[in-house]
Amino acid sequence: MFCRQHLVVGSRAVFCGAAFEHAWGSATPSCGGAGDRDDVSDRHCYGSYRVPAKLAVSLGDLASLLHSGHHGPAGAVRLEAERQPCLVDQCNGVLCSLFQVNLTSSKTILHVITSIASGGAENHLFTLAQQQVNEGLRVAVACLRDEDSRLKAAFEECGVAVVPLGLRYYGQWGPVSRLRAALAELKPDLIHAHLPPAELYARLALFDRAYAKVPLVISKHNDERFAPVFFEQTLARWVARRSQHMIYISHAVKDFWRKRRVPVDPAKACVVHYGLDAVPPVDGEDLRREWGVDPSTVLFGFVGRLVPQKALDNLVTAFARLENPAAQLVLVGDGPLKARLEQQMRSLGVAERVQMVGFREDIPAVMAALDVLILGSDYEGFGLVLLEAMAGGKPILATRVSAIPEIVVDGETGLLVPARNPEAMAKGMARLMDLPLRARLGQAGAERLRREFSPLEMHRKTLAVYRPLLERSALASG
């Protein structure tokens, strides 16, 4: 259905189709009145927003229809859909509130996160921040740890200010003081915290009468303990009580925290899955040549941190049981288990068929080089790497734990096996040596990504959380 939203400026109502950012570029604030011409940028003004001139004809027609009184909004939608059928697809699923002045033209969102090194939560935040900047929100990211990462440059390039808080060790008070200084300077209308350390520091910074009315939203990204301390549940509950809304990135994460009795009113909590855009076709042959992988070889791959959660010892054992010379395994990532895994490979006699290639940032090229992505985790809050594989049209072999079944449909977009069962994983690998099966699962995964895990849908749901909090905050401060 064609999304629609009325923007009332004085006594004038203008129909706003809702995919302008997606289809025609972002709307930007202007001081002109409704219908005024911007001579500088070749844009037309509608209400307090400028829109590209090439869109002005359709908007003008729709506005005229509404002003004439002969057609309601539905009639305008039908007429414009008949005139430009492509608008229906362009607008479907896009925010109907793109032109809400009170939200997009003046509000500042401050995200607080532990770090901006590349990882699932960090990459998710970058995607979300991009969407919010496109929406017209002012966005800043405060990170506890100072890191000059690829993401830092990417945030700044898209107009997001990055505020380092200088954390060197947990318990240090300096980051709280620096976060309060950022609050005083940025005057955010809403704070959105990601990951337990950032949740805690945001809570401490807000433990001040001056910020009592600033709403706090918390995103829960993981189904694991809040902190490695004996009173971690008490700490998690104390932090959660300050939040006005809790976002869980999966139903599995939601169930985990509810079982731990972290206090959240069900009416103030929701599940918002990660979103990721499909990527244009990428050539992975250069990487395969770099790794010495023959074109006829079936390349299984893991992408992520080399940490106990990922159960990589089980993966290596399963690969050793495959005993198929046409298969190879590559582990992409770094972490504390590297030396132990190398020793295990030697002891199982698979060192020549398993490569550890370290951390890489060119994930689309990595996915293009792989034939199958494997994620054999013991638990997983979401697993953004699964969406990255689906974006590349790759089949997935994963464990049936936590949030993974919410993303990977067994037998449709991948194969799911029990956790810590190397025999079952080896059988899954053997099945995926079949090219037609890999092609079918990979194509279905790409279609599922576009249908179920759109960044715009993720943004729309997050904005739906923000809107009532921002409105209440504005009334309270007014």
Give the model's pLDDT for residue 271: 97
Assigned fold of 285-452: Rossmann fold (3.40.50)
What's the rounded Cα separation, in Å, for the pair 100 and 60? 18
CATH number 3.40.710.10 given to 101-275+455-477 = no
How far is CA 3 from its chain centroid?
A: 23
Give the model's pLDDT for residue 333: 96
Strands (E), 368-467: 372-375, 396-399, 414-417
Domains 101-275+455-477 and 285-452 share a fold: yes
Per domain, the residue ranges of the chain are 4-91, 101-275+455-477, 285-452
Structural tokens at position 136? 């017209």
Strands (E), 129-196: 138-143, 161-164, 190-194
CA angle 151, 154, 156 (to 5 degrees): 110
Cβ-contact 142, 112 below 8 angstroms:
yes
Give the model's pLDDT for residue 117: 87
Number of Cβ atoms within 10 Å of the Cβ of 7: 20
435: left (phi over 0), alpha (psi -120 to 50) or beta: alpha
What's the rounded Cα separation, in Å, for the pair 93 and 86? 14
Evaluate the CA torsion angle 402, 131, 467, 6 in order and state its sign: negative
Give the model's pLDDT for residue 105: 54
Strands (E), 341-468: 354-358, 372-375, 396-399, 414-417
Q: What is the pTM of this model?
A: 0.78
Give the model's pLDDT for residue 263: 73
Report in angstroms the alpha-carbon separations of 357 from 304, 325, 335, 369, 445: 11, 20, 12, 13, 26
The segments of the chain whose pLDDT lies below 50 read 1-102
- Only one residue has tokens 């295990």, namely 344
Strands (E), 122-238: 138-143, 161-164, 190-194, 216-220
What would the DSSP string read from start to end of 240-279?
Answer: HHH-SEEEESSHHHHHHHHHTT----GGGEEE--------
**Residue 36 carries which side chain, given as an amino acid letter?**
D
Cβ-contact 179, 216 below 8 angstroms:
no
Give the model's pLDDT for residue 477: 66
